[in-house]
Amino acid sequence: MSIDQQVNKVRIDPLSGVPTTGHEWDGIEELNTPLPRWWVWTFAATVVWSIAYCIVYPAWPLLHGATEGLLGWHSRTAVVQDIAALQETRAPILEKIKNAPIDTIEKNPELLLAARTVGRVAFLNNCAACHGAGAQGAKGYPNLNDDDWLWGGKLSDIRTTIEHGVRWDADKDTRSGTMPAFGRDGLLTPQQVSEVADWVRTMADLPDALAPEPAGEKLYNDNCAVCHGADGKGNQSVGAPNLFDAIWLYGSDKGAIVNRIMQGGGGVMPAWKGRLDDTTIKALTVYAHSLGGGQ
C-alpha cells in the first residue's frame, strides 16, 4: 500500500465511534479525537493575552531598541520604584533613628525597639557570617554579647569600628594595630616564645599553667607590655586584648598562645561605611551595644 493510500484512508473507528486520521501503521490506526472545548478556548485566550502583552509591555526588539509598551514599564525603573516605596513605608521609623542622637536611642523604648529591629536584620545579612547569628562569635571572631571589647565598647567606639573596619587597608581610618610576628620574624627564639607563653598563662592564672621560667617575665615586660600593659589588661587604642579576663579569642591552651606569638597579626573586619547607609550603621551600633556588654 502506498503512503498516499494510507494517508487518505479515513474511516470511523467502530469501537469508539471516533474518526481516524487515516494514518495507519501495521494495523494500528490513529484516532482523530477533537480537542476539548475548554482547551481550545484557553489556547485562544493565551493568544489574545500575548497580543495584549506585546502592546502593553516592552516586547519586540527592533533595530534601535525594543518596543516600549504603553505602560512604559522597565525592570530597572521598576526596582527603583519598589525600593522607594519600601523606603517610604520604613521612613517614619528610620527618620526617628536618623534624627535621634545616638546616645538617646537606648533610653527611649520605642526607638530602641526600632533600632534593634533594623539592626538585627542588617546584622544577620552582613555580620552573622563571622560573629554568629546570635553574635556569639567563633574562634578568631569576637563574641559581641560579653563586656570584653578589643576596640572599645562605647557607642562611639562601636560605630567607628563598624564604619571603618579593623585592619581593613582599603579604609584609611581603619582600626590598626598589628601584633608583630615575634616568632616568624625572629624577634624571639622558639625557646623564648615558649617561655613568654608560659609566663602569660601563669599571669592569667590558667589552671594548668606550668611554673614559668623567670626569663618569661622579663621577655613579657620587654616585648609585650608596651601594648598589653604591664598588668596585662590590654589597650583598646591599639586593639591589644586584655590577657587576664579569661576570654581567649584564639584559645588559651599553650599551643594557641604560642601560635599567636609566632604569627602575630590579628583579625580583620571589613569597613561597612559606603556598603551600608548611615542609618543602618547607627542601628547596628545600637544593636551591638544593647546585646549585653555595651559600655
Partner 1 sequence: MSNATHHAPPSGLQKLIETNSMMLVLGILLMVSVGGLVEIVPLFYLKNTIEKVDGVRPYTPLELAGFNIYVREGCYTCHSQMIRPLRDEVERYGHYSLAAESMYDHPFQWGSKRNGPDLARVGGKYSNDWQRDHLRDPRSVVPSSIMPGYPFLSKTLLNGEHLAEQMRVLRIVGVPYSDDQIDNAVADLAAQASSDDAGGPDVQKRYPNAVLGDVAGKTSVTEEDALIAYLQHLGVSVDFKLYDDKANIR
Please check whether residue 245 is in contact with residue 150, taking contact to mean a CB–CB distance below 8 angstroms. no
The string of DSSP letters for 68-93 reads --TT---HHHHHHHHHHHHHHHHHHH
Torsion (CA) 110, 111, 117, 119 in degrees, nearest 10: -170
Count the neighbouring beta carbons within 10 Å of the beta carbon of residue 118: 21
Q: Which residue lies nearer to partner 1 by CB, 12 or 226? A: 12
Answer for which of 35, 37, 76, 172 binds partner 1 (CB under 8 A) is: 76
Q: Which stretch binds partner 1 (CB under 8 A): 96-104, 232-240, 269-277, 281-289?
A: 269-277
Nearer to partner 1, 123 or 199 (CB): 123
Q: Of 104-112, 136-144, 229-237, 253-261, which segment contacts partner 1 by CB under 8 A? A: 136-144
Which one of residues 42, 47, 82, 251 is an interface residue with partner 1 (CB under 8 A)? 82
Amino acid at 195: E
Please, which residue, 155 or 284, has the CB nearer to partner 1? 284
* Window of 112-120, 127-135, 188-196, 244-252 that interacts with partner 1 by CB under 8 A: 127-135
Q: How many other C-beta atoms lie within 10 A of the C-beta of residue 179?
A: 18
Q: Under the criterion CB under 8 A, does residue 275 sit at the interface with partner 1?
A: yes
- Name the residue among 82, 125, 116, 83 with its Cα closest to residue 97: 116
SS3 sequence of 252-263: CCHHHHHHHHHH
Of the pair 61, 109, the CB lying nearest partner 1 is at 61
Residue 248's nearest CA partner among 236, 260, 230 is 260
By CB under 8 A, name the binding residues for partner 1: 3, 7-10, 12, 17-19, 21-23, 32, 34, 58, 60-61, 63, 65-66, 68, 74-80, 82-83, 86, 125-126, 129-130, 132-133, 138-141, 168, 170, 181, 267-270, 274-275
